Copies of this chain bind each other. A is one copy, B any other.
Amino acid sequence: MFESAELGHKIDKKTYDNEVPVLREALLHAQLEFAMAAKFPIVIIVGGVDGAGRGETVNLLNEWMDPRYLQTHGMGTPSDEELDRPMMWRFWRALPPKGRIGIFLGSWYTWPIINRVQGLIKTADLDQSLGRAKRLEKMLVDEGALVLKFWLHLSKDKQHNRLKTLEKNPKTRWRVTKRDWEHYQQYDQYLAVAESVIRHTSTAEAPWTIVEGVDAHYRNLTVGKVILDALQKRLAETKITEVAAPPPLPSIDQLNILSTLNLGLKIDKKTYADELEKYQGKLALLTRNPKFKYITVIAMFEGNDAAGKGGAIRRITGALDARNYNVVPVAAPTEEERAQPYLWRFWRHIPRRGCLTIFDRSWYGRVLVERVEKFCSEADWMRAYSEINDFEAQLVRHNIVIVKFWLSISKEEQLKRFKERETIAFKHFKLTPEDWRNREKWDVYEQAVCDMVDRTSTKIAPWTLVEANDKYYARIKILKTLCEQIEIMLKKKGIKYKPAKLSA
């Protein structure tokens, strides 16, 4: 795999001096067209062998292009706020919006490779990390991003020479650290792991470009030209063709997961009062368990209009200390959110450890309202199922309890509640013309809900379907389920704050 990058590629000074001004102007020009149009972001990953010129390459790109529309992220040691969240959070927060270039020196590949070389993780762990990386890149590309990955290569001899040369020159001596020499000792292992990583993650949508790092002229021109070429081609594309499997067919009989719910379930007022006190008390105690500060809880509410999400949420928050929870009402995305991949606006609300966050509506909007109202393309919502499963798997992996509620009411019950809202002045604001319009599409929404549950109710993050015709019954079922899920997590072995096995 690295053979072509050990041939001794070289560009003489004269050719370089001739070509660079032309390349720079073209790069700058393409970048500005890209920045002004602001239709997609560019993610550039620069990885490779120590001494192969990663830092120099990145500095050069900053020099050649307009630094105003470019941001470089040297993803070094994570901050405590980053360690308190799933590993990918720090990359999500650094993603460039449309019209900007984000250069990552140190990426989602860095720590998996290093940890594997040092024997801190097994091959299976590495493979899992690479799976996550690939899915992230696939999502980025599907969202329109241009993803370019460079691997700067040096043979073992050349690495040795390079480190020695840098050390000899007083001006560059600072660049060679003890860690560089340690890595040199592990060159063979490092290369073997890197080879495997590149092989597994050179996907059709985001392939690696391996560049020989010995000759700076060759390296610079290659990286610059690859970027220019990809950018120009992308700018020339008029339309991105999306490929998606056809949407799922509705059940061919009348049986679906919602039809199996017994909406007649109810409890009386007295039982409700008793159970409410019991489970609120339990929830209060659970969140004060000393181990609670090592976990995170996300409770997520979806449901028919007027199914009682607000009331259920208030019964949860009523049991909690206001310092430890946060309610995120999901509304239309803001301008900054629209310039990012779909899941970005949910990643930004992922809480630190020890906190409980309630989402009032959620990332499932894409496969519910956006699907039904055609706010996104079929390809967008079809791929959302796996993106969401992947997102939730990352949360669970970080000891986040995620409890997903679908509050289900019958069509008749909804009509009753709408009419009630119409007549009671104080509840009037809750009913909008949109609610009536949604109601007309009852069957289409129901199909979307069934597809959603079929495709995203996973073992690690199952849906809890709540029979909500009776508000008392629904609230108790929700509180009880939440308590149970938190209890299970608190009893899990090994729940404690592990600040830094950076194996994500």
17 contacts between A and B (CB under 8 A): A32-B429, A36-B429, A55-B323, A58-B323, A63-B314, A67-B313, A67-B325, A67-B327, A68-B313, A68-B329, A68-B360, A72-B323, A73-B323, A74-B323, A79-B79, A103-B322, A334-B334
List residues of chain B with CB within 8 A of the CB of A218.
Answer: none
Within residues 154 to 204 of chain A, which ones have a CB less than 8 A from any CB in chain B? 174
Knowing A105-B323, A317-B63, A322-B62 are in contact, say whether A174-B68 is a contact too (CB < 8 A).
no
- A310–B68 CA distance with the chains assembled, in angstroms: 9
Q: Does any Cβ of B come within 8 Å of A127's Cβ?
A: no
Task: Tell me if A69 and B174 are in contact (CB < 8 A).
Answer: no
Task: List residues of chain B with CB within 8 A of the CB of A440.
Answer: none
A29-B426, A318-B63 given as contacts; is B71 within 8 A of A326 (CB)?
yes
A322 touches B58 (CB 8 A): yes
Q: What are the interface flags for A298-320 relative to B under an 8 Å C-beta threshold, 1 for contact and 0 otherwise?
A: 00000000000010011001101
| Secondary structure of the A contact surface, majority rule | helix
Query: From A313, which residue of chain B is reached at the shortest CB distance?
Result: B67
**A 332-356 binary contact with B (CB < 8 Å = 1; else 0):** 0011100000000000000000000
Interface flag for A288 (CB, 8 Å): yes
What 1/0 mask marks residues of chain A from 13 to 47 whose CB sits below 8 Å from any chain B CB? 00000000000010001001000100000000000
Contact between B336 and A55 (Cβ–Cβ < 8 Å)?
no
Q: Closest 8 A-B residue pairs measured CB to CB?
A: A74-B323, A72-B322, A68-B329, A335-B335, A62-B322, A67-B327, A67-B317, A58-B322
A76 to chain B, nearest CB (A): 8
Taken together as a complex, chains A and B put the C-alpha atoms of A105 and B288 apart, in Å, by 18
| Residue A321 CB within 8 A of the other chain | yes
